[in-house]
Structure 1
Amino acid sequence: MQWAGSRGLRTVVGVASVALMAGLVAACGGGSSGSASDTVYFGVSGPKTGPSAEYGRLWQQGFDLALDQINAAGGINGKKVALKWEDSQSDPKQTVPIATKFVGDKSIIAELGDFSSPASIAASPVYNRGKLVQYGFTNSSTEFTKGGDYSWSPSITLDVIEKVNAEWVRAKAKKVSVVYLETDWGKQAFQFFQQFAKEQGIEIAYSSPILPDSQDFRPVLIKGRDANPDAFVHLGYGPDGALVVKQLRDVGFNGPFFGGQNTPQFIDLAGSAAEGDIVNGVFSPADTTPKVQDFVTKFRAKFTTDPGDFNVYAYDAVNILVKAAKYGGATRDGVLKGLREIKDFDGIGLNTFAFDQQTRRPDGVKPIELVLQNGKFVPAGSK
């Protein structure tokens, strides 16, 4: 039920050393690069194919709507804003050469991505040595922004996510079974959940890692069911979450489920098995706030569907980097200056904030509790 990540999160041996070597090559990229043309470019490292391609599709919708509005309003000081995409499949082995390419492309003033935290972390040395802002807008690992002064993220971190997750679980259960992705990200999520579950007095009767690419989780789920939990907690993503909840119902567990993600893919794949599911998120189309309803109306008009969290993450990310570039200048140094000095960033999924200059993340941002009702995620407690 986590805020961001990828099924392809397994640590790749040797990636870090490759990144360091690539970073040495990329260091000559310089910090003041910018385009002399009539177009300002951001690089996007993200999944367009592979297991996480659905997230890239959702990103693209958010990017497209943002760029429509930004360019209709004059772009950045009269220059059009555009993206240069590279398909990483959210694979750490691919994000490193993509980072080297972006750092070497003087027209790119900042980078967006990658989707999973490990994929972004692998490339961080390249971006930091090349002095190109790496804006990991879906990277919830607490380790991501430790990569250096050029690694930034608005994402809610796993420690915050799992603290509120445990609070929500405690409202419905005293005893739970937990499955989590067998990845660095999944292990960190479980460690935090385990810590906060203990503080909340929640007994973890059974826990087990699950392989991201598995299609049959029933042997593990049967053991979790037989531990007689009040609820089941899944720490993972949309595709695996949908399989978990469907197979849970197949093996006879009908209690509360906390897991999956606020994505159309999860809702479609899980079907009625996920009714009542609780996830954390930053957005719901049911939010009556005027800025949210304006965004929802424009998104529906363009794509004939409701937006979800990952559309919002992408939409907000482009707008934040554009605001930084307008403030500091449409250069690499200018984007960094904007991120450091602007005190009133905001977005559809974010209240007004400034970046903490030590962590390079927003202060005080928390997820909201969403419940799946009649095929749509709505804020908990709404009718």
Structure 2
Amino acid sequence: MSKQWSRSLRVVVGIASAAVVAGSLSACGNSSDSSGDTVYFGVSGPKSGTSAEYGRLWQQGFDLAIDQVNAAGGINGKKVALKWEDSQSDPKQTVPIATKFVGDNSIIAELGDFSSPASIAASPVYNRGKLVQYGFTNSSTEFTKGGDYQWSPSITQDIFQDRNAQWVQSKAKKVSVVYLETDWGKESFKYFQQFAQQRGIEIAYSSSILPDSQDFRPVLIKGRDANPDAFVHLGYGPDGALVVKQLRDVGYNGQFFGGQNTPQFIQLAGAAAEGDIVNGVFSPSDTSPKVQDFVSKFKAKYNTDPGDFNVYAYDAINVLVKAAKFGGATRDGVLKGLREVKDFSGVGLGDSFAFNQQTRRPDGVKPIELLLKNGAFVPTGSK
């Protein structure tokens, strides 16, 4: 899921053009050195800045997965470890990080970045260096169009917003919508507007909101006064928590769709978000043995329930490890595995999938509808 798809596409394209030049300087990056005892994945992601919470959730999922992989023998006897560079999910920082990773022959694949523009800016470097860029939270439809080395299991915004409109339709005929004033937010709203119209949902009011704003009440009052049956927020956890709390402050008590399935959103939003409905990929209350095994191990290590972004990271490690076991612990081997393995699986990805070789995303992975009930997100079908 893309964060801060916030700078204009012109800036991203400019950075991407510069990245081609940067990538050409990494002549040693076209092959990987698998002669050591450790196999490395590079991580380009936020450990500081406004998106640092997502990096923290990633780290938990990565560490649990790597502990399990190494306990089971690693990749064909080699231990797995990470080389992490803090990008702050900023396109200006991801390009030099990509150049560094491509030039480090011990790295057999890259994970990240968190935001789609941050990833897209660096894609030319990874393509030129023939290093898989596994953008496992990149929901922009544009990310995997970058080249043969861009892969993602993330559900794209067209699919998210189709399902979002479906769930909104079950609760409301008229809605007010706020969305982030970012390229990602605009893309999300474009798709939601399209599918809302197809389903006969009236958008009585819509407005963008600035990602860094702390006071959305002037916009929310206008949305409230449009007398919607529900309020839809297209954004992330921190801004979603502010939106729902301020909606309640201005007297709107109707159905809310928005925020994210993260501990941060639940904590920040508090009681104001009770009854919230979101797109998600995972719930700790899922009774399937695979999910409950993951939840029990996660809670034993971190003493808290996992959320979507823990699952994204955990699944990402396991997918790349399986690809490398199949194709070999090299850059070419990871690519071969992603192309040829037909039975990948994941806690949030289902029991079996293969990557579509044209889109380089899985076919058939769908979001699930989650309801915030008693401070926890549960599938809407749960009692």
Alignment of 1:1-383 (within 5 A): 4-7=1-4, 9-11=6-8, 14-27=11-24, 28-351=27-350, 352-383=352-383
Moved more, 24-33 or 312-321: 24-33
Q: Percent identity?
A: 81
Query: Would the aligned equivalents of 1:7 and 1:51 in 2 still touch at CA under 8 Å?
Result: no
The aligned amino acid for 2:217 is R
Helix, strand or coil at the partner of 2:89: coil
Runs of 4+ displaced beyond 2 Å:
7-32
Q: Residue by residue, what CA displacement relative to the aligned partner does 1:60-91 show, whole Å, maximum 9, x if unpaired?
A: 00000000000001111111100000001111
Deviations 1:180-207 (A, max 9, x none): 0011100000000000000000000000
**Preserved CA contact (<8 Å) 1:8 1:212:** no
Cα deviation for residue 9 of structure 1 reads 2.8
| Matched residues, number | 380
Aligned-CA RMSD value: 1.1
Secondary structure of the residue that 2:292 maps to in structure 1?
Answer: helix
Shift of residue 323, structure 1, vs aligned partner: 0.5
- Tell whether the 8 Å contact from 2:165 to 2:195 is kept in structure 1 after alignment: yes
Q: 1:292 to 1:373 in 2, by over 3 A?
A: same
Shift of residue 13 of structure 1? 5.1
- SS class of match (1:356): coil
Q: 1:18 to 1:29 in 2, by over 3 A?
A: farther
Q: Deviations over 1:2-47 (max 9, x none)?
A: xx12246323754433333333342424443133211100000000
Letter paired with 1:308: G
Distance verdict in 2 for CA 1:260–1:98, change over 3 Å: same
Which moves more between the two structures, 203-212 or 17-26? 17-26
Distance 1:375 1:61 in 2: 21
SS class of match (2:344)? coil
- Compute the TM-score of the two structures, normalised by the length of structure 1: 0.97
Once residues 83 and 210 of structure 1 are traced to their aligned partners in structure 2, the CA distance between those partners, rounded to angstroms, is 36
Q: What is the alpha-carbon distance in structure 2 between the residues aligned to residue 234 and residue 21 of structure 1?
A: 35
SS of residue paired to 2:238 = helix
Q: 1:14 and 1:199, CA in 2 relative to 1: closer, same or farther beyond 3 A?
A: closer
In the alignment, structure 2 segments of 5+ residues that lack a partner are none
Runs of 5+ consecutive residues of structure 1 not aligned to the other structure: none
Contact kept? 2:43, 2:111, Cα under 8 Å: yes
Query: What's the secondary structure of 1:333's corresponding residue?
Result: helix
Q: Secondary structure at the match of 2:270?
A: helix
TM-score between both structures, scaled by the size of structure 2: 0.97
